[in-house]
Structure 1
Amino acid sequence: MSFNRSLLEGAKTVVKSTTKPSSLQLVPKRLPPLPTPKDLIRIYKVKARRQLSQNFLLQKSINERIVTSAGIKGDSYVLEVGPGPGNITRQILEKGPKELYVIEKDRRFLPMLEMLSDASLPGQMKIIIGDVMDYSFDGLFPKELRREWTDSSPPIHIVGNLPFNVSTPLIIRWLRHMSDRTGLFSYGRVGLTLTFQYEVGQRIVAPVMSIMRSRLSVMCQHLCRCEHRFVINGSSFM
């Protein structure tokens, strides 16, 4: 399994899977304009909530880089965790995946996500209002995508700019599912492209004998190939 890591000052951790090229490229309709920070506050009365450890990336070039790191293509099935106002979501849709699921706990973002869903191809984007920590993803994707663990990775990608308070518990939960071959990982070696707080990302990729080496390092590297991709400056977050 390839676990490609991006570290941020908010932090990036990336997992990547290799997918087959598709003969059919789905292209979404023109997406609504990207909201500015002022738009989010003025129109939607939305700003990041500290109690939810939210952080938003509004810089298009960074969101494009995250999605490019994930290797999403026209034959891909994608789950985005914590899309917020949909800034990474729109970059995923630009890649024309077969299906995109987004799971968001904060209902304030529903109008913005619905705008993106309406602008995408019919049935391409599906919105789940729920908590990723207790949501069951069993059967989310077509059963035909299931692979043996020793086979190549399925064309499924998990992407997310994770809230700081969720990132470590969530990755531990997913590592357990990887070990048991359950949940999202019942489909095989599904790739992940995730953001982590910088220090957490450092621990995930820390080599043997590093001062940053921890139990999290051992757990992640036992089940994944972890790679640091790039650092996102803290000033890029809203």
Structure 2
Amino acid sequence: MSASRKLAAFRLPPLPTVGELIKLYNLRAEKQLSQNFLLDLKLTDKIVRQAGSLRDAHVCEVGPGPGGLTRSILNAGATDLLVVEKDTRFIPGLKLLSEAAPGKLRIVHGDILTYRMDRGFPSNISKPWEGDPPNLHIIGNLPFSVSTPLIIKWLEDIANRTGPFMHGRTRLTLTFQKEVAERLTASTGSKQRSRLSVMAQYLCTVRNCFTIPGRAFVPKPEVDVGVVHFTPLVQPQIQQPFKLVERVVRNIFQFRRKHCHKGVEKLFPEACRIELTQEMMQKADVDPILRPTELTIPHIRALADAYAHLCSREPSLNTYEYREELGMKHLTRQKNAPMDTLMDRASSAPPSPLQPC
């Protein structure tokens, strides 16, 4: 059978359009869930093409909603499509699609943030991490409210080779607010360089595919949308635990406009802050007056390695959090405030007439 005929065998039968399904089931995008529907099947086809060939692939679609992207995935030749949808209103329309593609579409009513995706696919699709990626893809038009915590969760899964990455270097093709897409793919020195840039790029090859104008969505969001493709690296560029790398990067970028040593300082308790910061910067051989946006992945790797060395020498550093110390100081000030106020009033009050001046 020719490739064109084989592809044609996967085409869905005539169905109501996505717009017609929205009217049929009286579906409205919920603002509190940051839902925006993409009805243009040319655009959903274009998103799916960024994932590469889906011929006979296993796919997990995140938040399919009314099923526009779902149709494009099925038409691209996926043999097994698992959709995870939290909103029960969309289940009837998805069941209609499932009936039109017998044996190809599985529906899970659940929250992608807690769903055990590693259990959703057979073990025989797994590939060695060092080899080619498995024929397994994660694709989704993500609600803005969950996109950042979700990609951070998946990046941690990549670092630990857990969740959907138990099967190998599973690829992801996802939508984000344009600003977030730019941060994920920002190069060293750019204004968009951020914590997300470093966390994504030390673990993956990240590609900003194209931008979808907000007017293409219903309802129209206030921002445009970027499509981003991730392929996990065989070897992460930083060989330290994810949580440790995240802590170092988070602290450095909390003062993104200041010299990088300002953020590094907050990794350490006040009593030893200056000396340990100096030791860490010297051991990493990183210029302390570089801005966070100027730090390369090798810079971050050297800083993470130096911090890990200090943590192995001083285990208490592993549990230290600057914000907790700050919170304790604030509580102490509040507790002492009444006494401080009384003492201030006493010192500023005029002398009592019953006492000698």
Q: With the length of structure 1 as denominator, give the TM-score of the two structures.
A: 0.86
1:154–1:42 Cα change, 3 Å: closer
Residue of 176, 180, 189 corresponding to 2:160: 180
Q: Does 1:34 align with 2:22?
A: no
Which residue number corresponds to residue 198 of structure 1? 178
Structure 1 stretches of 4+ with a deviation exceeding 4 A read none
Measure how far apart 1:31 and its partner are: 4.4
1:108 partner amino acid: R
Which residue number corresponds to residue 234 of structure 1? 214
Which residue number corresponds to residue 3 of structure 1? none
Identity of aligned residues (%): 47
Q: Following the alignment from structure 1 to structure 2, what is the Cα–Cα distance between the partners of residues 190 and 132?
A: 16
Residue of 24, 27, 39 corresponding to 1:58: 39
Q: Following the alignment from structure 2 to structure 1, what is the Cα–Cα distance between the partners of residues 65 and 91?
A: 9
2:54 partner amino acid: K
Q: Following the alignment from structure 1 to structure 2, what is the Cα–Cα distance between the partners of residues 47 and 190?
A: 32
Is the CA contact 1:72–1:157 (under 8 Å) kept in the aligned structure 2? no
2:148 partner amino acid: T
Is the CA contact 2:82–2:105 (under 8 Å) kept in the aligned structure 1? yes
Q: Following the alignment from structure 1 to structure 2, what is the Cα–Cα distance between the partners of residues 60 and 137?
A: 27
Segments of 5+ residues of structure 2 without an aligned counterpart are 219-357
Q: Does 1:213 align with 2:213?
A: no
Show CA shifts across 1:92-138 (max 9, x none).
11122110000000010011100100000x32110000000111112
How do 1:1-238 residues align onto structure 2 when only pairs under 5 Å count?
A: 27-36=10-19, 39-40=20-21, 42-120=23-101, 122-238=102-218
Show CA shifts across 1:180-204 (max 9, x none).
0001000111011100001000000
Show CA shifts across 1:36-57 (max 9, x none).
2xx3554211111011011110
Is the CA contact 2:18–2:67 (under 8 Å) kept in the aligned structure 1? no
Is the CA contact 2:98–2:105 (under 8 Å) kept in the aligned structure 1? yes
Q: With the length of structure 2 as denominator, give the TM-score of the two structures.
A: 0.58
Q: Following the alignment from structure 1 to structure 2, what is the Cα–Cα distance between the partners of residues 75 and 82?
A: 22
SS in structure 1 at match of 2:206:
strand
1:192 partner amino acid: L
Bigger Cα Rg: 2
Show CA shifts across 1:71-109 (max 9, x none).
243221000000000000001111221100000000100
Q: Which has the higher helix share?
A: 2
Equivalent residue pairs, number: 214
Q: Following the alignment from structure 2 to structure 1, what is the Cα–Cα distance between the partners of residues 81 and 51?
A: 13
Is the CA contact 1:145–1:155 (under 8 Å) kept in the aligned structure 2? yes
Cα RMSD between the aligned structures? Answer: 1.7
Is the CA contact 1:31–1:90 (under 8 Å) kept in the aligned structure 2? no
Q: Following the alignment from structure 2 to structure 1, what is the Cα–Cα distance between the partners of residues 194 and 55?
A: 38
1:116 partner amino acid: L
Instruction: Tell me whether 55-64 or 135-144 shows the greater mean CA deviation.
Output: 135-144
Looking at both structures, which has the greater relative contact order when contacts are Cα pairs under 8 Å and sequence separation is at least 6?
A: 1
Measure how far apart 1:28 and its partner are: 4.7
Q: Following the alignment from structure 1 to structure 2, what is the Cα–Cα distance between the partners of residues 28 and 142?
A: 25
Measure how far apart 1:35 and its partner are: 2.7
Is the CA contact 1:31–1:116 (under 8 Å) kept in the aligned structure 2? no
SS in structure 1 at match of 2:211:
coil
Q: Following the alignment from structure 1 to structure 2, what is the Cα–Cα distance between the partners of residues 183 and 73?
A: 21
1:162 partner amino acid: L
SS in structure 2 at match of 1:138:
helix
